[in-house]
Amino acid sequence: MKWLRKLPGYMNIWTWLSLIIVVLILLPNVTIFINFFTQEAENWGHIQEFILPDLLKNTSLLMVFTGILSILIGTSLAWLTSAYDFPMKRFFKWALILPLAIPPYIAGYTYNGILNYTGVIQTTLRNRWGMEVDQKYFDILTLPGAVFIFTLFLYPYVYTITRAFLANQSASIIENARLLGRNAWEIYFRIVLPISRGAIVGGVSLVLLEVLNDYGLVQYFGVPTFSTAIFQTWFGMNDLTSAIKLSATLMFIVFGILVLEKVLRGRKKYSYSNAKVRPLTPITLKGGKAWAAFSYSLIVFSLGFLIPFIQLVDWMFLTYDKIASPEFTSLITNSLVVSFIGAAMIVVFAVIIANFARMHHSIVSKSAARVTILGYSIPGAVIAVGISTVFIQIDQVLFGFYDMIGITPTLALSTSLFMLISAYVIRFLAVGYNSIESGFDKVGNKFTEASRMLGMNVTKSFFKVDARMIRGSLVSAFILAFIEILKELPLTLILRPFNFDTLSTKAFQYASDEQIHEASLASIIIVLISGVAIYVFHQVLEKEQN
Amino acid sequence: MFVQIKDLCFSYGKENTIQNFNLSINQGQIVSILGESGSGKSTVLRLLCGLETPNRGEISIGGDVMTDDRRFVLPEKRGIGMVFQDYALFPHMTVAENIQFGLKGYGRKAKKQRTDEVLELVNMTTLAKRYPHELSGGQQQRIALARALAPKPSLLLLDEPFSNLDADLQIKIRSELKEIIKQTGTTSIFVTHDREDSKAIADRIITMRDGSAYDWDSICTIKSEFPEEQWTTVQ
């Protein structure tokens, strides 16, 4: 009865569209689970016995070590840059986020290019000083090598979240500890780490999900994981059903991480939303300590951004004449076009669901918001498997339909860009959604309510009032989604139409063909665009807030 | 009865905010709902204008049913004006644009004319081109009132209209407010936690506690039956 009464308030286009979008997002994921339990796969027994143990071992090792190391680097840098002043701190504060601009697969082949026999280090040692080194010390194409790359290029997730927390939430606690006579190390281990637990767990979950999502780096480094195994069973053994079963197994691991995140964050709330935000006042370091802090930041920044970036620029000059061609221009166009369409669709979908969710406080609207975010935790290869299964099934239905109305039947959908872009939308909807949701949170509901009291319906209110007020969030949602799509590799590799290349697939292809230098131009463009975006978001926006 | 509320019930989550609320109001009356924070007084306004849906009960305004078991009129169709606690003036629009926002179905000329009328009513004719952030608190409040009155609502709701003003301004503005509303003859309900506000403006005061209403027909009865010191302990 009560439920029936509330129904008319829901009856508008936003509700219907939201429900449709939610179903579209769930469809590929549900398909994977249904197929996991129903389909028989010819190679599954073999995979379970001989491949799965290795996959589990590699995946666990990668996650455990990358997780621990990125916590160490991320939190220590977050603490240094929020609690202390040292030379060039203002620069490092945002520069230490820059490693995120280099996708791990690009970082991986760049480091391999630096360290291998023909790389800059070994050739210098050989030609200048006549030193021959033992190759085993310079071989990065190993599991520890992959951990090294993952850590250096993913730690910023831990760094940014923890730093935001420390800088804004911790002032009174830290200052109290200082007054109580605790030294810096004690404060770090006994206060900072425990109180930032929620932030650290949040950051490290993102790191782990990125590790699970990665295909390019582990493939290049020859470390078999679920992503590579899904590619292999699907395209190598032509066994989609086994690929589905692997995907489902990987999804169980993802859900495990998400549950663990919830549990570890605990019920304790380590944020004081009611208290006024008071930034932590940094202490100025002097002498040796200042230089130690500076050197540490510089080393991480150099390894995580400067060195690979300079190397890429160097290679770019070597190969520019060869690579820059009309063909390369079409790569750029392809990348920009899919990123643009994908990001635009993400903004539209995210706006619809966020607006629906904020208008109603019910289980339905909350679950809609949850589902929207789901895609971001699911690895690209898994989404690719799910999406193509769904699209192939739709195509089969359409196939009969085409036949009936007398058009030559084709597998139109599952070979089109439409499939790739749908996959992007599912995978990165959360990126746009979070930005738009926080925009809505800031303005609240009162302007919409005022507009409705003046006779405008929900849709008109959105276009005349809400959209104007969250313009900034709409723009940042678009940019963030655009960049994620630009960098994306596994989905694009699997779902792109025949002969359709983007900057990221081409860079990966060159690197896989041992043409590392040739991969640099495409990589540089990706890194530059992402780097500029990071600069804008963390430097300019932070200044605006102050 | 112009406004008729019968057996209204509403809950946020599990907690009952409004319990069997009954109220009827004559046309042209200014009614004040007086209550402490958390007494559910603002929720009554939100239910009246359709921003919340009641669990039970019936609301009718001017003889038309707004909510009952079978019907629910959307807020934008109810023809109710509302002045929000923090005014909610659209920051990306000028004062004139804010006022014209609600004037649907008016021609260009008629819009301009109505805007001038209400600006005159609230004594703000010179500020039409300003943006809300260029106005003082008291000015913003008057513009919010003008905006709510512009479409000639059948019922005007005011949610804590003075809570964002300093004490001096508050006293000055509340007498003005009463005059303006009386001039238009609009039936009005305003919610406040300040009994001085109620006394100054209302023809009739309702007090609320724990989601139910207590009604006194006039301030005189309040004053005679309940000495001021006892007000907080009443019921």
Burial label, A316 (beta-carbon count in 10 A; 0-12, 13-18, 19+): buried
Axis-axis angle for helices A287-301, A52-83 (nearest 10): 140
Residue B69 and residue A469: Cβ atoms within 8 Å?
no
Q: Is residue B151 part of a domain?
A: yes
At A303-360, the pLDDT tens digits run: 999 999 999 999 999 888 887 788 889 999 999 999 999 999 999 999 999 999 888 8
CA dihedral (A498, A502, A504, A507) positive or negative:
positive
Q: What residues are paired with A150 via a beta bridge? A: none
Candidate from A9, A455, A468 with C-beta closest to B92? A468
Q: What ipTM was assigned to the predicted interfaces of this complex? A: 0.85
Can you give the CATH number for the domain in which B87 is found? 3.40.50.300
Judged by CB atoms closer than 8 Å, whether chains meet at A450 and B56 is answered as no
Identify the pLDDT of residue B235.
Answer: 32
Could you give the C-alpha distances from A229 to A64, A222, A235, A249, A388, in angstroms and in order? 20, 11, 10, 12, 17
Q: What is the pLDDT of residue A544?
A: 56
**A457 → closest Cβ in B76, B147, B148:** B76
User: What is the rounded distance in angstroms from the CA atom of residue A201 to the CA atom of residue A259?
Assistant: 12
- Which parts of chain A have pLDDT scores under 50? 270-275
Residue contact B84–A449, C-beta within 8 A: yes
Q: Which residue, among A1, A448, A453, would best test binding to B if mutated, counting the most B CBs under 10 Å from its CB?
A: A453
> How far apart (Å, rounded) are the C-alpha atoms in residues B231 and B196?
12
B168 domain-assigned: yes
Q: Which two tokens stand for residue A423?
A: 């996959």
Query: Can you give the pLDDT at residue B234?
Result: 32
Identify which of B79, B90, B147 has the shortest CB distance to residue A447. Answer: B90
B140: in domain: yes
Which chain B residue shows the shortest CA-CA distance from A362?
B13
pLDDT tens string A28-75: 888 888 888 877 777 888 888 888 999 999 999 999 999 999 999 999
For residue B63, is it left (φ>0), alpha (ψ between -120 and 50) or beta? left
Q: How far apart are the first and last CA of chain B?
A: 26
Residue B86, in any domain of the structure: yes
Residue A8 to chain B, least CA–CA distance (Å): 7
* Nearest alpha carbon to residue A175 among A161, A195, A158: A195
Closest CA to A379 of A164, A215, A200: A215
d(C-alpha A334, C-alpha B124), whole Å: 56
Domain assignment of residue B51, yes or no: no
Distance from CA of B68 to the nearest CA of A (A): 8
Contact A2 B55 (CB under 8 A): yes
Q: Judge whether B85 lies within some domain.
A: yes
| Partners of residue A5 in chain B, C-beta under 8 Å | 53-55, 67, 69, 72
* A-chain residue closest to B80, CA distance: A453
Residue A316 corresponds to which tokens in the numbers above?
Answer: 């770019």
Evaluate the CA torsion angle A197, A202, A204, A208 in order and state its sign.
positive
The Cα–Cα gap between A393 and A31 comes to 10
Q: Tell me, yes or no, whether B156 lies in a domain.
A: yes
**Chain B residue nearest residue A450, CA to CA:** B88
Residues 56-95 of B with CB under 8 A from A: 56, 67, 69, 72, 74-77, 79-82, 84, 86, 88-92
Tell me, yes or no, if the pTM score tops 0.95.
no
Give the DSSP per-residue string, A198-253: HHHHHHHHHHHHHHHH--HHHHHHT---HHHHHHIIIIIS--HHHHHHHHHHHHHH
pLDDT at A408: 66
List CB contacts (< 8 A) between B101 and chain A: 451, 454, 456, 464
Between strands B187-192 and B30-35, the pairing is: parallel
> C-alpha angle with apex A53: A52 to A56, nearest 5 degrees?
85
Q: What percent of chain B has pLDDT over 90?
A: 38
Confidence at residue A274, expressed as pLDDT on a 0 to 100 scale: 43
Interatomic CA distance for residues A57 and A42, integer angstroms: 24
Q: Do A9 and B74 touch (CB under 8 A)?
A: yes
Q: Which residue of A has its CA nearest to B53?
A: A6
What are A's interface residues with B at a Cβ cutoff of 8 A?
Answer: 1-2, 5-6, 8-9, 446-447, 449-457, 464-465, 468-469
Q: Do B53 and A9 touch (CB under 8 A)?
A: yes
Q: Which domains does chain A have, with CATH numbers?
A: 10-39+324-512 (1.10.3720.10), 56-312 (1.10.3720.10)
Whether residues A6 and B80 touch (CB distance < 8 A) is answered with no
Q: Do B53 and A8 touch (CB under 8 A)?
A: yes
CB spacing of A453 vs B55 below 8 angstroms: no
Q: Is residue B157 part of a domain?
A: yes
State the total domains in chain B: 1
State the residue range of the domain holding B199: 28-39+73-233
| Ordered per-residue pLDDT tens for chain B, 235 residues | 899 999 888 887 767 778 888 888 999 999 998 888 777 888 899 999 998 888 889 999 988 999 988 888 998 899 999 999 889 999 999 999 999 999 988 899 999 999 999 999 988 899 999 999 999 888 999 999 999 999 999 999 999 888 877 778 888 888 888 889 998 999 999 998 888 888 888 888 888 766 666 665 444 444 444 444 444 333 3
CA closest to A456 among chain B residues: B76
pLDDT at res. A40: 75
Q: How many CA atoms lie within 13 A of A312 on its CB side?
A: 25
Among the partner-chain residues A6, A446, A454, the one whose CB lies closest to the CB of B101 is: A454
